Structure 1
Amino acid sequence: MSDILGYKGKRVIVSGCFSGMGEATAKLLLSLGAEVHGFDFKDVDLPLASFNKVDLRDPATIEAGVAAVGGKIDALFNCAGLPGGGGFHPLDTMKVNFLGTRHLTEQVVPLMADKGAIISIASTGGLGWSRRIPVHMQLLQTQGFQDGLAWCEANLDQVAEGYAFSKEAVIVWTQFMGAQLIKKGIRINCSLPSPTQTPMMATFHATSGKDVVDAAAEPLGRYTTPEEQAGPLVLINSDLAGVVNGIVLPVDGGFMGGLATGQVDISKMMGGAKRQS
């Protein structure tokens, strides 16, 4: 089979490769002949080119991990994340889902040449981004991990439980950076998965409620698999998608379309949000 996606011999980094979507992404990239370098907080049992223990809450480990990989990087897959609903401290959720992800990306970009590609996992839980663009632009104006964290600490009313705001931030940041990085020949995009059967699902059920999570799985009527989410990530970062840039890609079995056309009952999800508050 021809290497239509263009990954053979490419050097890629996958964060969050221990389980879930990140693990599925790393496995798919390995099968396509990529040289895969993994980052995670937990040790990984995959035949990677290298593995570095990285905690996205700690910028020093991010910098050490990127330095250890070194050389040219062709693609970055930001798959690490924490669930919401109060399962983790809001600032930890912000650090992993946005601040650490942004810091990792900023460390990798100088190692990318023309035709570099970045994709991050956001969420349908970040759909409120368009109502808070001015707030998110304040966060995007911060420089570096610590400056961003200080902004979050000063704006805990906006951060709230952390998950929705962090995913909104990924969405706005992706669109903002798309217009910046493309001038260097580097693309950046993000995906919006619907509920996916990963180890985090138990936390989502416990903190947000199964009914709320199930409502976000319509009209597909089931949770997606990590493999179903990994495929679009790999496609968007591939040579085949060479001018796809700054997009927010729903990977949700029709949830966004159903929502836009009134076929998804959003009140169940809103009800769950009200119970948490």
Structure 2
Amino acid sequence: MDFTGKTILVTGAGKGIGRAIAKLAAARGASVVAMTRTAADLESLEAEIGCRSIVVDLSDAAATRAAAREAMPVDYLVNNAGTTALDSVLDVSAETFDLLYAVNTRAPLILAQEYAKDRIAKGLGGAIVNVSSISSFIGFADHAAYCASKGALDAMTRVMANELGRKGIRVNAVNPTVTLTPMAVKAWSDPDKAGGMLSRIPLGRFAEPDEVAEVILYLLGDGAAMVNGVTMPVDGGFMSD
């Protein structure tokens, strides 16, 4: 779809999947509002695509709401920002659990609230894509808080789709396998763990950020006008194993 004349808000736009989304959206004509916590990442993205940038720590609820209101109006929202931690069920701390829920689950809710309120007040429809993970489906060892936060995000996506769909706003999630981003490389640095993961992917490789971005833009676009409330694996067939 050509997004000329449309504005897309992308969180976590400085690196990885978020940066790929921002660059692909801009290449297809969109104006991009890029949101992340690292100013240097946004400066380099601005130089590449001429986006509007907002620096915010999404673990701070009040700052997230203020940033969301600053970003409006936009036509589409991509809740891509996320964080992870390697902790077992026995070892995960309350502080880590709260941080992952704040960034991975609460921040998307706050952003969706502000986006939807703005669109509804203007009598407009729209589309939201939440970037989740196959970790919402699979209980990966040492990912207690991450799996829980992404499972909650998928559940929230379905509730959003139910409620906001009645207002003309579609809400879907994408659930990538390991994607070759800095966060994923750190999380899967153990060769034995990475090899075991690869052995379960029929296509035999991890995902590239651009491949995930393509699916996200499809879900935002008119070609997905009847797609609402899905959690779509982008996993090379991992879930079919």
TM-score by shorter chain over 0.5: yes
Q: 2:240 aligns with which of 238, 241, 257?
A: 257
> In structure 1, what is the Cα distance between the partners aligned to 2:196 and 2:163?
36
Deviations 1:121-158 (A, max 9, x none): 111111159xxxxxxxxxxxxxxxxxxxxxxxxxxxxx
Q: 1:126 aligns with which of 125, 132, 136?
A: 136
Which residue number in structure 1 is paired with residue 71 of structure 2? 69
> TM-score, normalization: structure 2?
0.85
Structure 2 matches for 1:48-197, cutoff 5 A?
Answer: 48-71=50-73, 73-86=74-87, 89-112=96-119, 113-127=123-137, 161-197=144-180
Select between 81-90 and 180-189 the one with higher mean Cα deviation.
Answer: 81-90
- Aligned partners of 2:56 and 2:63 also within 8 Å: yes
- Aligned partners of 1:115 and 1:242 also within 8 Å: no
- Unaligned 5+ segments in structure 1 are 130-159, 259-277
Counterpart amino acid of 1:167?
Answer: K
Deviations 1:166-220 (A, max 9, x none): 01001111112211111100000001101111000233125xx443344334122
Which residue number in structure 2 is paired with residue 143 of structure 1? none
Runs of 4+ aligned structure 1 residues displaced above 4 Å come to none
- Aligned partners of 2:7 and 2:75 also within 8 Å: yes
Counterpart amino acid of 1:205?
Answer: W
Q: CA deviation at 1:90?
A: 2.1
Q: 1:215 aligns with which of 186, 196, 213?
A: 196
> In structure 2, what is the Cα distance between the partners aligned to 1:10 and 1:109?
16
Superposition RMSD on alpha carbons, in Å? 2.0
> In structure 1, what is the Cα distance between the partners aligned to 2:170 and 2:68?
19
Deviations 1:29-75 (A, max 9, x none): 0001111101101121223441111111012221222222233x211
* 1:15 and 2:25 matched: no
Which residue number in structure 2 is paired with residue 29 of structure 1? 25
- SS in structure 1 opposite 2:202? coil
> In structure 1, what is the Cα distance between the partners aligned to 2:72 and 2:133?
30
Which residue number in structure 2 is paired with residue 148 of structure 1? none
- Aligned partners of 2:85 and 2:96 also within 8 Å: no
* 1:243 and 2:226 matched: yes
Aligned pair in 2 of structure 1 residues 196, 242: CA closer, same or farther (>3 Å)? same
- Aligned partners of 1:198 and 1:226 also within 8 Å: yes
Aligned pair in 2 of structure 1 residues 176, 68: CA closer, same or farther (>3 Å)? closer
Aligned pair in 2 of structure 1 residues 176, 166: CA closer, same or farther (>3 Å)? same
Identity %: 31
- Aligned partners of 2:205 and 2:236 also within 8 Å: no
Bigger Cα Rg: 1
Aligned pair in 2 of structure 1 residues 168, 99: CA closer, same or farther (>3 Å)? same
> In structure 2, what is the Cα distance between the partners aligned to 1:6 and 1:169?
32
- SS in structure 1 opposite 2:166? helix
- Aligned partners of 2:132 and 2:173 also within 8 Å: yes
